[in-house]
Amino acid sequence: MLLRKIPRFEKYFAYIPEGPDLNWSDSRHVEEALQALIEFARSKKVFQIKMGPHVWTRRWQNETIKEAIAQKTTSTISALTADEKNDAGDNLIATLQRLGWQQPSAIDANFGDYQPRYVFQLDLHGKTAEDIFGGFNQLWRRNIRKAEKSGVQIQVCDENSLTDFHECYVETAQRDHFTPRPLSYFQNMYRAMHNENAKRIELFLARHPDHPGAIAATTMTEVGNHAWYSYGASTTAARDLRPSNAIQWYMIQQAVADGCSIYDLRGIANTLDANHHLFGLIQFKLGTGGYAQEYIGEWDFNISPLLASAFSVYMRRRG
């Protein structure tokens, strides 16, 4: 939420190195800030507010998840007993419910919201790159070494290489059966974020002498001490060279060098079923030695319930 763009919201923020962020654990300030947001939205004729606070509720460690998969004790992450719970997340949910905010019906049943509710993260705090590499499973370490020995090279690129990124991305979309965003989307995103801060978005390409263009491509975002793997793509022809592992390892090392304490591999589906078509996501990310985490999800405040309902119908039909 860009509450900081509204001058009257200044008093509700706690300051962090990258700028102001709402202190979600302070229920009184949350209530005051959200009420001010609603008043501002009404003045601008907004019919619905949607937000996804960056506050987690539950966390599952690597070994807990692997054991559940091996023992087939449950088919979903949500049904698995969490290793850690965040009271601040539960308290925020209670506050939002009391203030009349609602959780929408899931747009995508696999991920829960417009943004994934379940993510996979790697703890970098106090660790060296060697520590993190040692925490990878045997397959990850072997694939990274194979990519290096095979001559895979990772490059940090600028906006001019977005065409190479997009070609790789479109091939991935065709292979994985999703609708790709146009090149202009990534160009606009890159310019807007890069102009704000050079570290806000970086483009990484994996190349190999035997293959034209990029064989894997990713973007990474940094805000404060948190680094996110945001978009990723790879070609089918060069899959045996393991560029996806190599490019992730390069980004993780970059995040460590930049002083980040969290590397976020982003969304996973709420499934531990090996037969589920999205099981490969968590299987791939488990190899980093990280943990799964659940956020409180997205919340709506319907200023005009009629228009909000019509918009929801439109989005469902739009697919």
Phi, psi (rounded to 5 degrees) for 179: -85, 120
In this structure, whether the domain defined by 126-259 belongs to CATH 3.40.630.30 is answered with yes
- Write out the chain's pLDDT in tens, 319 residues: 444 444 444 444 333 334 456 788 888 889 999 999 999 999 999 999 999 999 999 999 999 999 999 999 999 999 999 999 999 999 999 999 999 999 876 555 566 667 889 999 999 999 999 999 999 999 999 999 999 999 999 999 999 999 999 999 999 999 988 899 999 999 999 999 999 999 999 999 999 999 999 999 999 999 999 999 999 999 999 999 999 999 999 999 999 999 999 999 999 999 999 999 899 999 999 999 999 999 999 999 999 999 988 888 887 776 5
What pLDDT sits at residue 312? 80
Q: What is the pLDDT of residue 318?
A: 66
What pLDDT, on the 0 to 100 scale, is given for residue 1?
42
pLDDT value of residue 22: 77
**CA 78 – CA 248 distance, rounded (Å):** 27
Q: Where are the domains of the chain?
A: 126-259
Distance CA 85, CA 176 (A): 34
Cα separation, 232 vs 256, in Å, equals: 20
Q: Could you give phi then psi for residue 293, rounded to 5 degrees?
A: -140, 140
d(CA 36, CA 42): 10
pTM of the predicted protein model? 0.87
- Residue 28's pLDDT is 87
Strands 19-22 and 13-16: antiparallel
What residues form DSSP beta bridges with 297? none
How far, in Å, are 61, 80, 91, 308 from residue 85 at the CA level?
12, 12, 12, 33
Q: Give pLDDT, residue 106.
A: 56
Residue 151 backbone class (left: φ over 0; alpha: ψ -120 to 50; beta: rest): left
Are 308 and 112 in contact by the 8 Å Cβ rule? The answer is no
28 CB neighbour count, 10 Å cutoff: 10
pLDDT at 23: 83
